[in-house]
Structure 1
Amino acid sequence: MADETAPKSDAPFATRVDPIKAGLSRDQMYFIKQVELEQWKKRATKLRARNVATGLAIGALVMGIYGYTFYSVSQERIMDEIDEEAKRVRMQTPKSGAN
């Protein structure tokens, strides 16, 4: 049974039609435009969902970089304060050498 193939048919199935060359009526053209519009709407909703997900991912990445930058800059300020304190301590200690 598995070796049998489907019978061949000469009936056109899902063939592409060029509306300009096929000489379709106004009603047929209207129907084609309606079907194309519905297909476009279906694809647009899927694409919109992907775009939103991509936008949120990029936004999260940007906010992460922004937050990390603020964190690292605040750490640098602490290091500057430690350096200032070290300079003050060096200035207060007696210097060795001949004056």
Structure 2
Amino acid sequence: MADKSSQGEPKPEANFAKRIDPTKEELSREQLQFIRQVEMAQWKKKTEKLRGRNVATGLAIGAVVLGIYGYTFYSVSQEKIMDEIDEEARTAKIHTSKTGAN
């Protein structure tokens, strides 16, 4: 048997959701409640994605801060400038004449 649409009869139009502006059109309570439910579902989906990004960004910033903090302590503990200055002062004091005459 042949398809009816192939015989030249028009196909029925498919029903598509049309965009409406709830501020301009009168909507029933059920329609407004449905719109709120859909908006809430979309908002929850977006916030879950943003929360993941925020956590990743926070961890990255925290890792950088801890890295800088740790490196600072490491470099300060390795710093021997004050020890070298003290040692030079001791040797200079020993090598100077004890009579005070120049």
Distance in 2 separating the partners of 1:23 and 1:69? 65
Q: Distance in 2 between matches of 1:15 and 1:86?
A: 86
Higher relative helix content = 1
How far residue 94 of structure 1 moved from its aligned partner, in angstroms, is 4.5
Structure showing greater radius of gyration is 2
Aligned length: 88
Partner of 1:17: 20
After superposition, give the CA deviation of every residue in 1:60-90 in whole Å (9 maximum; x if it has no partner). 11111111221222233x2211221121112
Where does structure 1 lack aligned partners over 5 or more consecutive residues? 1-9
Q: When the two structures are superposed, what TM-score results if normalisation uses the length of structure 1?
A: 0.75
State the match for 2:81 in structure 1.
Answer: 79
Segments of 5+ residues of structure 2 without an aligned counterpart are: 1-12
